[in-house]
Every structure is written in structure tokens, then in C-alpha cells.
Amino acid sequence: MNTRRLLSKLDLNASMTAPTKTILIVDDDAGHLSLLKRFFESHGYAARTALNGEAGLRAARRLLPNLIILDLKMPVMDGAQTLAELYKDKTTRAIPVFILSGAEIDERTGLVLKQSDNFKKFIEKPASLKDILKDVILHIRMAEAGISPATEPA
């Protein structure tokens, strides 16, 4: 299905809010977490945060969010390992994951991204909050409609 037809079916302009949807944001930068949390909450989302991959993995299992935004370079457990663990777990495998990072993708990370069907998009920092919101809305609505979006190349 081409993107234009898909977007028209999902009607992204109908509403920019989704009060019952939860987004988990995992990043070791507290300022970045705070900014994203406030932004998504201002658009009606329940935004939850975690400061590293291990805490993010625990939160994902507990919350079962509609979407996860994950940084790559973090202490304790990096984003690639977190993504792999999310995919291994039956309860979190279907949660779409966006990577939002300024880090270069090394060979190991690239392999993990290719092997994890839950990885949906790579967004390079710095990124437009409006563009991130559009992508979040699109992927959550596609998941609700039972449409599996193609992963965007890293």
C-alpha cells in the first residue's frame, strides 16, 4: 500500500491527541527526557520515562506502552541490547520502537536493528518534535488498525 493511500485511510489530521496512549521514553539525558515527556503530555499522551535501558526494559514490561522511544548510547544497558531484549520477550515484542539518537550505528547495532521486527524508525538527534509526533501518531494508529508498517532503514 502506498504511503499516500495509507495516510488518507488513517486520517492523521483528525486529531493530534490520543489521551489513552502511553509512550515510554528511554534516554540517559534527563533534560531530553523532561522535554519529550512534557511535549507528549501536552498532546494528550501518558508519557513515562526511564534513564537507562535496564530501567526501560522493566518499565516496558510493567506498562506495555503503545510505543517506545529509545536512545542508543546509555549506561547500564545500551539501546541496542534493550531493543534485542524487548524483541525476545513475548509480552513486549509487538511494541513499536523508535530509535532517537545522535550516535552512529555500528555493525553490532545495525545487526540488532535488522533482526528486531519491533524496530520501526531511526530518528537522528536533533529532531523536530512535530515530525516525531506525526510519526508516533502514524505508527500507533497503524498498530491499532492491524497494519504492520515497514521498518524505515537506519
Tens-digit pLDDT profile for residues 129-153: 999 999 999 888 888 887 776 655 4
Digit-coded pLDDT (tens) for 29-60: 999 999 999 999 999 999 999 999 999 999 99
- State the residue for C-alpha cell 550505528: 105
Q: Into which CATH architecture does domain 20-143 fall?
A: 3-Layer(aba) Sandwich (3.40)
- Spell out the long-range contacts of 36-42 with Cβ–Cβ below 8 A and sequence spacing 24 or more: 36/69, 36/129, 39/129, 39/133, 40/133, 40/136
Question: Could you tell me how far CA 72 lies from the centroid of its own chain?
Answer: 12
- Residue ranges of the domains in the chain? 20-143
